[in-house]
Amino acid sequence: MSIRIGIMGYGNLGRGIECAVKQNPDLELKAVFTRRNPENVKILTETAGVYPAADVEKYKNEIDVMIMCGGSATDLPVQTPEIAKLFNVVDSFDTHAKIPAHFANVDRAASESGHLAVISLGWDPGMFSLNRLYANALLPKGRDYTFWGKGVSQGHSDAIRRVKGVKNGKQYTIPVETALEAVRAGKNPELSTGEKHTRECFVVPEEGADQEKIREEIVTMPDYFDEYDTTVNFISQEEFDRNHSGIPHGGFVIRTGKTGWNEEHSHVIEYSLKLDSNPEFTASVIAAYARAVYRLAQEGQTGCKTIFDIAPAYLSPLSGEELRAHLL
């Protein structure tokens, strides 16, 4: 019997979940829930239904794990605790500073109703967090570095598009190669986020717009660009559509550390991702953890957990015996 999956919210991430479910034969998409008119939401899975988000309680017995695909700013803080009263649930809440509060809210709702929840899944928070934890446990005397990119920052792209005279825009965060190399060489540099990354913008200007003024406004924008080496390229809508329609991302988590009685030996642990599609990879992480949530819930676990609390074997469709024989 398959694990019955529900999707709450059908944007880029929801569509990514749908694709990930297709790749995992033990998962089955039962239903997509939307705040839009369900008749206007076309999904790819012929065997799944599309229903109003308001009716979700009716499907209480038809979904094993509900996957929350709303945004972290306003959707998930409200929705995940609400849905955790009715379903086992996973989300990708990614506002790092607010994770403890979100955890507490979801834990309360899930514990009281006897469901299991896992929050903040994806790659950062998510796989990058996991690699920070492992590397810190293995090398207690050491130093962490996270580099992001090359990839599209949604927040910075939005900021560009709010500048007057900008018709369309996209921003790539790019790790500084010399900084990466210094870290890998064990030089333990002190690096600000601005020293680790440059920002490259591709802007489609409105007709007759003052390009120099747009450039100036972008590169001096506080919080977003002023502390970075920022490049602004003006391109046509055609070029934008041809070369900048994807949502690639990725990055590097590196820990360098010392071992030995007098810390005489150096080590470098590096984890990196190179992703053609940020939402589809995020969805792939979430799908694997949905499997884990189902199994742990079957074992009677309740409350809220994070990626730190899940033993890796729960992610794999293989048995313990198969894992030991083929992957260990």
User: Which residues make up the interface to its own copies (CB under 8 A)?
Assistant: 16, 18-20, 22-24, 44, 96, 99-100, 103, 120, 125, 127, 129-134, 136-141, 184, 259-261, 265-277, 280-281, 283-285, 288, 291, 306-313, 315-317, 320-321, 323-325, 327-328
Q: Minimum Å distance from CB 297 to its own copies?
A: 15
Q: Minimum Å distance from CB 246 to its own copies?
A: 8
**E strands within the chain?**
3-8, 27-34, 49-52, 65-68, 88-90, 116-118, 142-148, 151-152, 166-175, 197-205, 229-234, 249-259, 265-275, 303-305
* Closer to its own copies by Cβ: residue 222 or 320: 320
Name the burial class of residue 194, with classes exposed (0-12), middle (13-18) and buried (19+) by CB atoms within 10 angstroms of its CB.
middle
* Closer to its own copies by Cβ: residue 221 or 315: 315
* Closer to its own copies by Cβ: residue 72 or 131: 131
Q: Minimum Å distance from CB 244 to its own copies?
A: 16
* Closer to its own copies by Cβ: residue 38 or 186: 186
Q: Minimum Å distance from CB 39 to its own copies?
A: 22
Closest CA to 201 of 238, 227, 166, 250: 166
* Closer to its own copies by Cβ: residue 23 or 40: 23
Residue in the block written with tokens 């001096």: 220
CA 306, CA 121: separation in Å to the nearest integer? 8
| CB neighbour list of residue 34: distance below 8 Å, 6 or more residues apart | 9, 10, 41, 50, 51, 52, 53
Q: Minimum Å distance from CB 132 to its own copies?
A: 5
